[in-house]
Structure 1
């Protein structure tokens, strides 16, 4: 049974989500703040965390960053705000998806299922490019004895570019593939993720490089 951690200081939302997730066959762990959530994560690792943004003390963005630092479980953010800067902040914090309250419980279930499918990669999906190995089951990127553990969006972005070396991927196509067709943020999110991946790759592999194709997008190249 899949386990989902739900973090929300609104007891009504907490119970609503609990009812629908339980009816859908998930085991639900309910907590009302970030400190309690961290306590749960120290003893048990859920398959996904649903985190409210507007919480007293540690807000949802801060909790998401904490989860990302200590685990590689996916995070879906819930918020009463729909402004683009809030969505941007959520994705930059490391979240995998974002829903604005009030929401349809059925849509929440769809999004949860979609996120979990993205994490369930077949065991044989391994990409080898130059000295770099990308394992889409363990979500590890290795080169020699060096191992990178990346947030899911960074990993998916690198795996996408590595799936077709030297092919140019248009920025809009990348955004749709990694963040979804309904993502309304600007391209700064993509720029930030590319920058982070480049910095990490540079530390473990000198022969693999993400190249900017001005006015179009990005491609992954192997040198030497």
Structure 2
């Protein structure tokens, strides 16, 4: 299946650069020059992700992002020259999934789009039934017939993704990219800390869930037979 990306920017040369690099990676792209045109296209076509500028005529990126998040279940990457921290905060408040400032390297944009898509669609199922344990993305809860707990967001995301692929080994770098982003510059051992806390919080479910360390490789989640 071709993944369709909506590109919205009033600068034709920016749209062309984004299009060329995304199409080189196999994405199918559609271009719009402003938010109004994008909303009209969204009524006709379905997309997997939108890459949008902020400062555009007719309908700006702030409003467009809000509209997309209200009516269409797709992730958004804002690409903009507005780099002040207040603008970045506003972007996340209106619903953007990531934020990239101009000038940018097209390869970084492609990496961010891929990361957003992986993160978004890994978490797109609301509830996972893990051998009778319900892992609910609606409220970050883990529950059985007798026990229910709420997890911090990062711990829940780690559990959710590993539960979706039981037995699959996830490296620290894979988990960092998924949940901290491709530009994370901190210590990868942050994963170890979250895994340790997650194990502690899941102690009531240890008869069903085994969060295993695979030495030299990473972590995996397995059902206990």
What TM-score, normalized to structure 2?
0.59
Contact 1:127/1:163 (<8 A) preserved: no
Contact 1:78/1:99 (<8 A) preserved: yes
Specify which of 100, 125, 128 is matched with residue 126 of structure 1: 128
Contact 1:21/1:109 (<8 A) preserved: yes
Partner SS, residue 99 of structure 2: strand
Partner SS, residue 120 of structure 1: helix
Q: 2:51 maps to what in 1? A: 50
Partner SS, residue 31 of structure 2: strand
- Count of matched residue positions in the alignment of Structure 1 and Structure 2: 157
Which of 1 and 2 has greater Rg?
2
State the shift of 1:127 in Å: 6.3
Partner SS, residue 122 of structure 2: coil
Q: 1:160 maps to what in 2? A: 156
Contact 1:134/1:159 (<8 A) preserved: no
Q: 1:25 maps to what in 2? A: 26
C-alpha separation between the residues in 1 aligned to 2:182 and 2:17?
27
Change (3 A) 1:23 1:157: same
Query: Structure 1 residue 40 and structure 2 residue 16: aligned?
Result: no
Structure 1, unaligned runs of 5 or more: 144-155, 165-175, 184-218, 220-224
State the shift of 1:161 in Å: 7.6
State the shift of 1:182 in Å: 5.3
Which digits, 9 at most, give the CA deviation of each residue in 1:55-74, with x for residues without a partner?
Answer: 12211111000000001100
Contact 2:18/2:106 (<8 A) preserved: yes
State the shift of 1:159 in Å: 7.8
Query: Structure 1 residue 67 and structure 2 residue 87: aligned?
Result: no
1:42-191 mapped onto 2 (5 Å cutoff):
42-121=43-122, 126=128, 134=136, 157=153, 160=156, 163=159, 180=181
Contact 2:8/2:53 (<8 A) preserved: yes
C-alpha separation between the residues in 1 aligned to 2:107 and 2:23?
13
Contact 2:119/2:179 (<8 A) preserved: no
State the shift of 1:93 in Å: 0.6
Change (3 A) 1:157 1:58: farther
C-alpha separation between the residues in 1 aligned to 2:96 and 2:50?
10
C-alpha separation between the residues in 2 aligned to 1:72 and 1:110?
21
What TM-score, normalized to structure 1?
0.59
Q: 1:15 maps to what in 2? A: 16
Residues 113-122 or 7-16, more deviating: 113-122
Contact 1:157/1:178 (<8 A) preserved: no
Partner SS, residue 126 of structure 1: strand
Contact 1:76/1:96 (<8 A) preserved: yes
State the shift of 1:133 in Å: 6.0
